[in-house]
Amino acid sequence: MTAIEVASISKTFTKKLTHKVRALNEVSFSVPQGNVFGFIGPNGAGKSTTIKILMGLLRPDTGSTSFYGQDSRLPAARAKVGYLAENPSYYDYLTPRELLGFVAHYFDVPADRRDARVEEVLGVIELTHAADRPIRSLSKGMVQRIGLGQTLVHDPDLYILDEPMSGLDPLGRALVADIIQQLKSRGKTVFFSTHIIHDVERVCDDVALLLNGSLQFCGAVKSVIDESFNSYEVVLRVSGGAVPDLPEGICAAREGDTWRLSIPREELNPLLASLSRNNELLSVEPERRTLEHIFVDLIKSAGTAQGR
Ligand SMILES: Nc1ncnc2c1ncn2[C@@H]1O[C@H](COP(=O)(O)OP(=O)(O)O)[C@@H](O)[C@H]1O
Ligand SMILES: [Mg+2]
């Protein structure tokens, strides 16, 4: 079942009456139920605009969005969603316990279960110790955790989180990653935006990259990492202290009889034939890059393509 469907949405903002900013350009993707989906892109790429359109806070110029097959602008469709806005602000004279109680009431958690649910969520976001202090006296990281907490209160099936890890220290980020993983293990769907690619690598099934309002890539994290490599590491044993016959430009490191070569992907096949004729081939492995490297290269080449 498809939890989120984004079909060809475009959005142009007008600034100062005449200046137009094309924030989204025919963006389409879908998120299956049970998936943890990372929505990445540099600042200004259009992530928050997409999320605001999904939540019915902005209207797209063209295209449509749905949750579980229902127009996502309908209140009934959004009732199944836990939403964390990009820069949320809360009634900061309330305490976390009061705010979560208010959210529970607002989302129709039955009155006899509300208090227990609020305590449970305070435990999950590790804020029980500060539950009765006014929000205005709490640290930025604590407030960010309240933001995540208010998405959990009504136990929705779908979570849409705009930069849930921003402003958190490594411990706070690990807690958020942990909560996302727990949601996944309960079959929930989590869609979150971030510009921190490492966070995607550790929790996401799928990832989409947005650049200047256009979707550059959408697919499984594992397949991006498995497929996006440019070279192989080849390990050879060369007997009798000989030097293997290598074309110019191939990086090679020697430890005794063993040679480690880095061979460009397109040159592997012809070279392997000649290398294996005279030497013992010990291993051939793709030199995989981290998701971060892959995306930084993509972003750079897109920048170059636009002459920037
Ligand atoms: N309300 C608005 N009015 C004018 N321009 C906007 C508005 N909201 C966003 N933009 C512009 O749209 C582009 C995408 O912004 P945004 O979706 O916030 O990016 P991201 O969340 O990826 O950082 C940016 O160029 C931003 O300046
Ligand atoms: Mg944003």
Q: What is the pLDDT of residue 292?
A: 85
The CATH 3.30.70 portion of the chain extends over: 230-286
The CATH code that applies to domain 230-286 is: 3.30.70
Q: What is the pLDDT of residue 195?
A: 83
The CATH code that applies to domain 2-221 is: 3.40.50.300
- Mean pLDDT of all residues in 113-120: 96
Q: Which tens digits make up the pLDDT trace of 171-201?
A: 899 999 999 999 999 999 999 999 888 889 8
Nearest atom in ligand 1 to the alpha carbon of residue 46 is 17
Q: Is the pLDDT of residue 38 over 80?
A: yes
User: How remote is the CA of residue 44 from the centroid of ligand 2, in Å?
Assistant: 7
CB 195 within 8 A of CB 40: yes
* Ligand 1 atom 2, closest CA: 13
pLDDT above 90: percentage of residues in the chain: 62
Mean pLDDT of the chain: 91
Q: What is the pLDDT of residue 219?
A: 92
User: How remote is the CA of residue 47 from the centroid of ligand 2, in Å?
Assistant: 5
Nearest atom in ligand 1 to the alpha carbon of residue 43 is 23
Q: What is the CA radius of gyration of the chain?
A: 25
For residue 189, the cross-strand partners are 158
User: How remote is the CA of residue 21 from the centroid of ligand 2, in Å?
Assistant: 15
* Ligand 1 atom 8, closest CA: 49
* Ligand 1 atom 1, closest CA: 13
The CATH 3.40.50.300 portion of the chain extends over: 2-221
CB 164 within 8 A of CB 143: no
User: How remote is the CA of residue 75 from the centroid of ligand 1, in Å?
Assistant: 24
Q: What is the pLDDT of residue 289?
A: 83
Judged by its nearest atom, the ligand closest to the C-alpha of residue 210 is 1
Torsion of CA 172, 81, 163, 229, to 10 degrees: 100
- Cα of first residue to Cα of last residue in the chain, in angstroms, is 41
User: How remote is the CA of residue 304 from the centroid of ligand 1, in Å?
Assistant: 22
User: How remote is the CA of residue 168 from the centroid of ligand 1, in Å?
Assistant: 23
- Mean pLDDT of all residues in 267-278: 85
Nearest to 24 by CA among 35, 13, 36: 13
3-state secondary structure 225-257: HHHCCCEEEEEEECHHHCCCCCCCCCEEEEECC
Q: What is the pLDDT of residue 305?
A: 59
Q: Which long-range contacts (CB under 8 A, 24 or more apart) does 242-250 make?
A: 242/278, 244/275, 244/278, 244/279, 245/274, 245/278, 247/271
Nearest atom in ligand 1 to the alpha carbon of residue 14 is 4
Exposed / middle / buried, residue 189 (Cβ in 10 Å: 0-12, 13-18, 19+): buried
With a Cβ cut-off of 6 Å, ligand 1 is lined by: 13, 15, 21, 23, 41, 43-49
Nearest atom in ligand 1 to the alpha carbon of residue 213 is 14
pTM of the model: 0.87
Q: What is the pLDDT of residue 6?
A: 98
* Ligand 1 atom 27, closest CA: 44
pLDDT above 70: percentage of residues in the chain: 98
User: How remote is the CA of residue 230 from the centroid of ligand 1, in Å?
Assistant: 34
CB 293 within 8 A of CB 287: no
Nearest atom in ligand 1 to the alpha carbon of residue 49 is 17
Exposed / middle / buried, residue 149 (Cβ in 10 Å: 0-12, 13-18, 19+): buried
- pLDDT confidence band for 78 (50 / 70 / 90): very high
- pLDDT confidence band for 307 (50 / 70 / 90): very low
> Residue 211 and residue 219: Cα distance in Å, rounded?
15
Considering only residues 15 and 306, tell me which one the structure prediction assigns the higher pLDDT: 15
Q: Is the pLDDT of residue 58 over 90?
A: yes
CB 137 within 8 A of CB 129: no
Mutate to test the pocket of ligand 1, among 17, 48, 194 (most ligand atoms within 8 A of CB): 48
Q: Which tens digits make up the pLDDT trace of 233-265?
A: 999 988 777 777 788 888 888 888 899 999 988
CA distances from 179 to 15, 67, 80, 131, 191 (A): 39, 22, 18, 19, 13
* Ligand 1 atom 25, closest CA: 44
